[in-house]
Structure 1
Amino acid sequence: MVADLFGNSVPSEGRQARSWDFQKYWFALEQADPNRTIHDYSFLHMCIWVRIHNIPLSLMTAALARVLGASIGKVSMIDTRLEDGNMGEFMRVHVLIDTSKPLRRCVVLSRPDAKAFMCLLQYERLPPFCHGCGLIGHSVLACPTTPKVEGQKFQYGAWLRAPLPKRSATRPRG
């Protein structure tokens, strides 16, 4: 089940996406305005599902997903699927991110009565991005800001990509 910002259930066919990926390339559509020219559009924002890991099971709520998601970008939907009474191993939020800024690698969950948790992020269907600077749209080899040093370790990596869900071995025919 997917919920919008107001907690209302949204059927799968009713969701509107602003960005898609096609053969690992991201593209975006924006509502046309007859008073704007092509140069007035920036296409710097992208909607993407983000998985938030390392949350204590007792805190996995839609309210917390909204708060943590807001630290990543503008939250448009929250996945409130329930597996055995909880949301599973991670929380999932659909956010609008600014692609001119580096990807977030984690969010910090702090509580006054307990230690802070570092919650790792993974992005679903993440387009190509730079492992050096964290920006979407170019690789580390083409990065204008990352120095090219042999054996260098980067702040970002393939671990930011969420694994694709496993498909059923049997497909319905028809």
Structure 2
Amino acid sequence: MALTGDGGDKGVAVEASTHPKSQAESTIAPVQGAGQLVMRQAMAEGASNWEATEKKEAYGGPEDQIDGEVDMDDVAFIELEPEEEDPAAESQWKMLGRYYAQRIPNADQLFERMNVVWQLRTGMTYVPLKDNFFIITFYSKGDFNFVSRGGPWIFKGYPLLVAPFIGAARPSETILNSVPVWTRIYDVQWNKQTQAMGRALGGTLGKGLEVDIDEARQGLNEYLRVRVELPLNRRLQTKITTRVKGKDDLETYELKYERVPYFCFKCGFIGHEKEGVREGDTGVGQIRVQYGVAHIATPEI
């Protein structure tokens, strides 16, 4: 094969044919006619299919070009045998992770940091997926339980969301959209600083996980402390308003969050960056509260 040029940096490949076609072989040439591209065929006698093709003047459907019966079914179906449980798979403690940020992290740095924070006894491995998702495999049940029940796990200000990996789920069904955060509810009446009140108030913010009540100091605290799964599709709340059934009086309780991941001081959403929020986005123009460091509390030791 030789490359010939036209005076510039372009060229065309020229190759001598080692097996030239005989006169009996067919040739296909595109010809424009009647607004359609038709195929002209010079063939040996007896080529009935090609002769029929040459006579077609209009395309009437698949049956015009397909030999035999046309199958228009567009769904492939198979009935599978039930799969048996694999006992060996239970020895691998897998978790799905999602780094919730508007940027792509350095995965090695992320999990090196998590390895230190988690203080793993037996180690882990991870496999990156798309959209900042990861499959994390732990080598012991203890490490798995510690990570799944703890958090929030934060790297460079943004949360690594985790949940048990469900192998039977489809990727399109995989959702990680909440982060566990200890929330302080301030100025609750002395006689209402109870587990029941904590669950009721925390439930207005998200899924309640735990109420921290020190029996020795119950009814003597400045705030109720509740651990809540905060939904990421809802801006941080700055207060809770309540009313007793049958009464008109309203009670308002201010909120602060411990170890809350980065949230936008303009729109109030976790994981957002102020520079990426435009006026009018997510109702920003209607915000009546001011987000800031006043809504962040120093974690209790």
TM superposition score normalised by structure 2 = 0.44
How many Å apart are 1:90 and its aligned residue? 0.4
The one-character-per-residue Cα deviations of 1:110-149 (angstroms, maximum 9, x if unpaired) are 23568422101111101111112111102222224247xx
Per mean C-alpha deviation after superposition, the further-off stretch among 114-123 and 44-53 is 114-123
Identify the residue that residue 120 of structure 1 maps to in structure 2: 254
Identify the residue that residue 4 of structure 1 maps to in structure 2: none
Kindly tell me the number of residue pairs found equivalent between the two proteins: 149
How many Å apart are 1:86 and its aligned residue? 2.2
Contact 2:182 2:258 in 1 (8 A): yes
Identify the residue that residue 57 of structure 1 maps to in structure 2: 190
How many Å apart are 1:102 and its aligned residue? 0.8
Identify the residue that residue 291 of structure 2 maps to in structure 1: 156
Structure 1 distance, partners of 2:291, 2:215, is 31
Gaps of 5+ in 2: 1-145
User: 249, 254, 269: which is aligned to 1:135?
Assistant: 269
What do you get for the CA RMSD once the two structures are aligned?
2.7
User: 225, 230, 239: which is aligned to 1:97?
Assistant: 230
Aligned runs of 1:8-47 on 2, under 5 Å? 16-17=149-150, 19-47=152-180
How many Å apart are 1:154 and its aligned residue? 5.7
SS in 1 for 2:166: coil
**Greater relative contact order (CA < 8 Å, ≥ 6 in sequence):** 1
Contact 2:192 2:219 in 1 (8 A): no
Distance change (3 Å), C-alpha of 1:36 and 1:99: same
Structure 1 distance, partners of 2:150, 2:172, is 22
SS in 2 for 1:123: strand
Quick check: which has more Rg, 1 or 2? 2
Structure 1 distance, partners of 2:151, 2:169, is 18
Q: Which amino acid aligns with 1:65?
A: G
Structure 1 distance, partners of 2:240, 2:274, is 24
Percent identity between matched residues is 24
Structure 2 distance, partners of 1:116, 1:132, is 27
Contact 1:19 1:29 in 2 (8 A): no
Q: Which amino acid aligns with 1:54?
A: D
Structure 1 distance, partners of 2:207, 2:231, is 9
Identify the residue that residue 86 of structure 1 maps to in structure 2: 219
Gaps of 5+ in 1: 1-12, 148-152, 168-174
Contact 2:239 2:255 in 1 (8 A): yes
User: 186, 190, 201: which is aligned to 1:68?
Assistant: 201
Structure 2 distance, partners of 1:141, 1:68, is 33
